[in-house]
Amino acid sequence: MVSAIFPAAGQGKRMNAGINKVLLELAGEPVLVRTLKTFSRVEAIAELIVVVATDEVAPVQEKLAGFAGLKPFKVVAGGSERQYSILNGLRQVSEAADVVLVHDAARPLVTVETIEAVIRTAREKGGAIAAVPAKNTIKVVGQDNLVVATPARSTLWEVQTPQGFRKDILWQANEQALADDFLGTDDASLVERIGVQVAVVPSDYRNIKVTTPEDMLIAEAFLQCDVSAQMSAMTTAADQARQQWLKEAAK
């Protein structure tokens, strides 16, 4: 079985909303709920573990209880750093889980296809991350804002979530990081430093992290495009059915 951990303990200062950004409504539904509903549609996933600030545990638990369509979930308190929040979530993972996913709660547009691909690859390789090829040229900058190097863009990927790992590997990586007092930039960086190679799973550019008010507008636009496409497909199907009925009736 697969467990999924959702870090959501950040203060979200760049959103300037006064509340946890994952509780903001996106097209009429909280960002967090949209994220959890997508993961709940993945058959292999058996439990959802949401990690929030200590004073948000009870209200988030109560809020999520009011939504249908979610797989069994737990809401737990996070730590002083994202990495420690993930560790707190990992401590709540079922013993039966063989793969653990970590996904930013503020990425509500992730697809079921991406999640399933990360799970498959994590089982096969030990570790997997969703990512997309970098679109822009990246510069390595040193002192005095002087360019040191320009890496080949073909080798650069923008890392997203979910990131998935076999549970024993993620445990070992976190324990080693804790012992070394090491803080990584993401979960994969902890796994990489214990010598486990992490595979990249191609994702899509719509899997954005909602961090600023502008991101909310972009996410709303993506969702509106989805609705328009669905309505168009339904209209086309209805027209085709009507034409077929007319042909049959004319016989």
pLDDT at site 249: 53
pLDDT at site 194: 98
Comparing C-alpha atoms, which of 207, 1, 209, 230 is closest to residue 114? 207
Specify the pTM: 0.87
Q: What is the mean pLDDT of residues 56-69?
A: 94
Strands 140-141 vs 147-149: parallel, antiparallel or unpaired: antiparallel
pLDDT greater than 80 at residue 106: yes
pLDDT greater than 50 at residue 40: yes
Dist. CA 57–CA 50, nearest whole Å: 9
pLDDT greater than 50 at residue 102: yes
pLDDT digit string (tens) for 136-188? 999 999 999 999 999 999 999 999 999 999 999 999 999 999 999 999 999 99
pLDDT at site 227: 47
pLDDT at site 60: 95
Residue 19 pLDDT class (50, 70, 90 cuts): confident
pLDDT at site 14: 57
pLDDT at site 15: 61
Mean residue pLDDT across the chain: 90
Q: What is the mean pLDDT of residues 120-137?
A: 97
Q: What is the mean pLDDT of residues 191-210?
A: 97
pLDDT at site 9: 83
